[in-house]
Amino acid sequence: MRLVLALVAAVLMTACATNPVTGKRELSFMSEEQEISVGRELDAQVRQEMGLYENPDLQRYVQEIGMRLARSSQRPNLPWSFAVVDSPAVNAFALPGGFIYITRGILPYLDNEAQLVGVLGHEIGHVTARHAAQQYTRGMGASLGVLVGSIFVPQIAPFGDLAQGGIGVLFLKFGRDDELQADALGAEYTAANGWDPDEVPAFLTTLARISETSDRNGVPNWMSTHPQPENRAARVGVTVKKVRAGGEGAWVVDRDGYLAHIDGIIFGDDPDAGVVRGNVFLHPPLRFAIEFPQGWEITNSDEQVVAQEPGNKVFMVLRTIDPRPGRSLDQAAQQHMKEAGYKAVDVTSATIGGMQAVLGTYEGNASGIGKVTARGGHVLLGRSTFFIGGIAPPDMYARVTSDFEHAIQSFRQMSQAEANAIEPNVLDLYTAREGDTWQSIAQRAGKGLVSATTLAIMNDHAIDEQPKPGDRLKIVVAGS
Over residues 4-42, the pLDDT tens digits come to 444 434 434 444 566 767 656 554 557 889 889 988 988
254 and 291 housed in the same domain: no
Nearest to 472 by CA among 451, 441, 439: 441
179 and 287 housed in the same domain: no
Across the range 150-160, mean pLDDT stands at 40
- The answer on pLDDT for 239 being more than 50 is yes
More confident residue, 343 or 221: 343
User: What dihedral angle (degrees, nearest 10) is formed by the CA atoms of 403, 409, 410, 413?
Assistant: 160
372 and 437 housed in the same domain: no
370 and 416 housed in the same domain: yes
Q: Which of 237, 262, 287 is the last residue of a domain?
A: 262
* Domain with 382 in it: 271-420
User: What percent of the chain has a predicted confidence (pLDDT) above 90?
Assistant: 60
Lowest mean pLDDT among 134-143, 351-360, 399-408, 425-434: 134-143
Cis status, amide bond into 220, omega within 30 of 0: yes
pLDDT at 28: 56
pLDDT at 476: 95
192 and 118 housed in the same domain: yes
pLDDT at 17: 62
Across the range 149-177, mean pLDDT stands at 45
CATH number at residue 472: 3.10.350
> Which CA distances in Å does 25 have to 12, 17, 107, 140?
11, 5, 37, 18
- The answer on pLDDT for 63 being more than 90 is yes
pLDDT at 232: 81
395 and 286 housed in the same domain: yes
CATH number at residue 391: 3.40.1000.10
336 and 250 housed in the same domain: no
pLDDT at 91: 87
Q: What pairs with residue 473 in β-bridges?
A: 430
Interatomic CA distance for residues 167 and 211, integer angstroms = 19
Amino acid identity, position 361: T
- The answer on pLDDT for 216 being more than 80 is no
Q: Which of 382, 397, 420 is the last residue of a domain?
A: 420
315 and 443 housed in the same domain: no
148 and 61 housed in the same domain: yes
403-413 burial, b if ≥16 CB within 10 A, otherwise e?
Answer: bbeebbbbbbb
79 and 14 housed in the same domain: yes
C-beta neighbour count of 444 within 10 angstroms: 12
Q: What mean pLDDT, rounded, does the chain reach? A: 84
pLDDT at 167: 29
pLDDT at 147: 27
pLDDT tens digit sequence for 84-125: 999 888 889 888 899 999 999 999 999 999 999 999 999 999
241 and 303 housed in the same domain: no
Q: How many domains does the chain have?
A: 3
pLDDT tens digit sequence for 364-380: 998 878 899 999 999 99
C-beta neighbour count of 66 within 10 angstroms: 23
State the DSSP code for 220. Answer: S
Q: What are phi and psi of 451, to 5 degrees?
A: -80, 165
Across the range 207-231, mean pLDDT stands at 59
pLDDT tens digit sequence for 322-355: 888 889 999 999 999 999 999 999 999 999 999 9
Query: What predicted TM-score, i.e. pTM, was given to this entire model?
Result: 0.77
pLDDT tens digit sequence for 194-211: 999 999 999 998 888 887
pLDDT at 378: 98
279 and 393 housed in the same domain: yes
Q: Which of 262, 288, 318 is the last residue of a domain?
A: 262
